[in-house]
Amino acid sequence: MTRFQETTVYGTVLIGNAGGDHVFIIRTSRAVDDWFGAIVEVRSDCWSGKMKGCSFMRGELRGFANDVRQLHRTLLGIAKLDPIEPNVTLTLTGDGKGHVRVEGLARNRFETRNSLAFDFEIDQTFLMGLAEGLERADPAD
């Protein structure tokens, strides 16, 4: 647990490059009734957004980590994060050659149509670190 600009941080996940296109998930609360809070930041091309009131159910990030590990093994296929509270949805698609496309949609409030659709590419070398970060942010305890 660390502090992030006056917020207690229970885990972080970086998908992409912090200085470029990325999705950054910052877990900000302990699990209560199997739910925990997070801040999600997205940057893609010239667009960016940050949501502070995101929620994930315990096991959602960990399940995504399992899919990411499988994608790392084969380099071909899909890993999906499709949470019950879909503030952010992600699809990682491997082409079998080491390139991984990251596609997603971020939305702060579900009752409006405001959203940020994004699409960027990462290298397969990011996948193991991503899986480990997801597991640290959503431990099995």
Cα angle, residue 74 at apex, residues 42 and 97 outer, rounded to 5°: 70
Task: Please count the structural domains in the chain.
Answer: 1
Q: What is the CATH number of the domain that holds 39?
A: 2.30.31
**Partner residues linked to 35 by β-bridges:** 32, 57
Q: Percentage of residues in the chain with pLDDT exceeding 70? A: 95
Q: Give residue 87's domain range.
A: 2-137
pTM here is: 0.91
- Mean pLDDT, residues 73-98 taken together: 96
Residue 112 in this model has a pLDDT that exceeds 60: yes
